[in-house]
Amino acid sequence: MTLTHMRRERFAARRGASLIEVVIVVGVLTLVLTINAVTLHSLLRVGRAERDGQTAARAWTRLALAFRSDAHQALSLETAAAPRQRLSFDSGARRRVSYEVKQSGGLVITRTARRGDDVIGRETYTLGKSGAGIFEIAEIGDARLARLTLSLSAASPLAPRTRVIDALVGRDRIGSTEDSP
């Protein structure tokens, strides 16, 4: 046998990869894919929390606008005695708007508008995964103030945990004679 023939035989036997090399490559690929999966899961979770926070902020803004508008147009209001989780505004002309705080899959406030016995509108505001809300009525001189106080369980320590909506009852009716009792 010649020297070149021996070299060819040695290289011909060495064409494939050894089992140890294959196991090392598979292990490294598994590690890289695991790190990528954990990172992707974390990013998706953060994105969902951000979307939930934005949805709750939009619901809060819509609730504040509707609550203040209803209070400003109201002639009178009343709240439930013990848990104070229900408030009703009477706007005259048999129009009544009520707000109710519920815990059903999160902190939910339902606004129901009625004309007589007929429901003419219903809106639901989902404000977070958990929390509590109460309605209060305050007297300030001759004026009445409707207040909604929400205590939210915030996911972030920087997010506000208590939010308050204040509205002057009958503000839009001061000096008006329409729908007077």
**Per-residue pLDDT for the chain (181 aa), expressed as one digit of tens each?**
666 666 666 655 566 778 898 999 999 999 999 999 999 999 999 998 888 888 888 888 999 999 999 999 888 888 876 677 888 999 888 899 999 988 877 888 999 999 988 999 999 998 877 778 888 888 888 888 888 888 877 655 555 678 888 888 887 765 544 443 3
Strands, E assignment, 30-168: 76-79, 86-92, 95-103, 107-115, 118-128, 131-140, 143-152, 162-168
Domain annotation covers residue 27: no
Strand order in the sheet with 131-140: 131-140, 143-152, 162-168
Number of domains into which the chain is organized = 1
Angle in degrees, CA 122, 125, 126, rounded to 5: 140
At 181 the pLDDT is 39
Domain annotation covers residue 25: no
In 3-state terms, what secondary structure has residue 12? helix
Tokens for 146, please give them. 């409707």
36 torsion bin: left (phi>0), alpha (psi -120 to 50), beta (else): alpha
pTM of the model: 0.71
Cα 110 from Cα 29, distance rounded (Å): 52
Find the domain containing 168 and state its range: 38-173
| Contact by Cβ (8 Å): 171, 68 | no
Task: DSSP letter for 175, please.
Answer: T
- Shortest CA distance to 135 belongs to which of 151, 149, 153? 149
